[in-house]
Amino acid sequence: MTYVSNGPSSWPTINFNIFFTYWTIAAGVVVVYDWALTLGREIELIWRQRWSLMTVLYLIIRYIGIPFSVVNVLETMPSVPLTDAVSAIMYYAVNGTIVTLTAMLGVIMIARLHAMYQGSRAILIFLVVVFLAVNIACGVISAIDLKYAVEGNEQLLFSMVWILNTVWEVLILCLSVWIAVKHFRELRGLGPSTGSTMGDCFTVLIQSHVLYFASFVSVSCLQLVALSPEILNSMSIGVWILQGAVQILSVVQMFVLGPRLILSVREYHVKLVAHSDAETGLISIVFQERVHVLTSSTV
Tell me the three-class secondary structure of 40-95, residue by residue: HHHHHHHHCCCCCHHHHHHHHHHHCHHHHHHHHHHHHCCCCCCCHHHHHHHHHHHH
pTM to 2 decimal places? 0.78
Decide if 127 is inside a domain: yes
Decide if 194 is inside a domain: yes
Output the average pLDDT for the chain.
Answer: 76
Domain that holds residue 230: 8-285
Decide if 2 is inside a domain: no
pLDDT for the residue numbered 132: 94
pLDDT for the residue numbered 154: 60
Domain count, the chain: 1
pLDDT for the residue numbered 116: 83
Highest mean pLDDT among 121-125, 160-164, 229-233, 260-264: 121-125
Residue 38 in 3-state DSSP? helix
Decide if 25 is inside a domain: yes
pLDDT tens digits, 246-286: 888 888 888 998 998 888 888 877 777 766 554 444 444 34
CATH number at residue 18: 1.20.1070
pLDDT for the residue numbered 277: 52
pLDDT for the residue numbered 123: 93
The model's confidence at residue 36, banded by pLDDT at 50, 70 and 90, is: very high
pLDDT tens digits, 254-263: 899 899 888 8
Decide if 296 is inside a domain: no
The model's confidence at residue 61, banded by pLDDT at 50, 70 and 90, is: very high
The model's confidence at residue 56, banded by pLDDT at 50, 70 and 90, is: very high
Decide if 95 is inside a domain: yes
pLDDT for the residue numbered 205: 77
pLDDT for the residue numbered 33: 93
Decide if 299 is inside a domain: no
pLDDT for the residue numbered 213: 85
Q: Which residues contact 63 (CB under 8 A, 6 or more apart)?
A: none
pLDDT at 3 over 70: no
b/e per residue, 110-128, with b = 16+ CB within 10 A?
A: bbbbbbbbeeeeebeebbe
Decide if 295 is inside a domain: no
